[in-house]
């Protein structure tokens, strides 16, 4: 972790930038701050079209955040099969799915009380 505290807003912006760099789709930001007993403040959820693209999104997010903010995730898991990769930046957890896996788990539905902001896909 970097010496200076990275703001959540800066981290959000750079995570989204990393996702968009490699054409990650269907980006949703779930604001969990008003829900009791949550593990973090935000979930960022997106999907790729293949395990190759899912890993590319993960690598792009890590590279962008590292370059811009000198920060790195506390933990990353799921890169072996790249169907659902979780990147834990402590206050922000990023979920990168393959589309069919995202539909199956429906995290947005599980966290229905969260305020959801959808980022339009870049064409």
> What total number of domains does the chain contain?
1
pLDDT at 123: 65
The sign of the torsion formed by the CA atoms of 120, 31, 105, 112 equals negative
**Token pair of 102, please?**
């995202």
pLDDT in tens, 69-114: 999 999 999 999 999 999 999 999 999 999 999 999 999 999 999 9
Q: Does some domain include residue 91?
A: yes
The verdict on residue 11 lying in a domain is no
Does a structural domain hold residue 77?
yes
**Is 81 a member of any domain?**
yes
What residues make up the domain containing 100?
Answer: 25-118
- Averaged pLDDT, 21-40: 95
- Does 9 map to a domain? no
| 112 inside domain | yes
Q: What is the mean pLDDT of residues 12-34?
A: 97
Domain containing residue 92: CATH number: 3.30.460.10
């Amino acid at each position: 972790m970097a010496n200076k505290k990275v703001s959540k807003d800066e981290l959000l912006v750079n995570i989204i930038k990393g996702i968009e760099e490699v054409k990650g789709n269907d980006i949703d930001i779930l604001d969990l701050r008003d829900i009791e007993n949550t593990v973090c403040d935000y979930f960022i959820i997106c999907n790729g079209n293949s395990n190759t693209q899912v890993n590319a999104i993960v690598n792009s997010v890590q590279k962008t955040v590292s370059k811009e903010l000198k920060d790195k995730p506390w933990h990353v898991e799921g890169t072996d099969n790249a169907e659902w990769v979780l990147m834990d930046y402590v206050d922000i957890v990023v979920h990168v799915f393959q589309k069919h896996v995202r539909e199956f788990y429906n995290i947005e539905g599980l966290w229905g009380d969260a305020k959801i902001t959808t980022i339009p896909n870049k064409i």
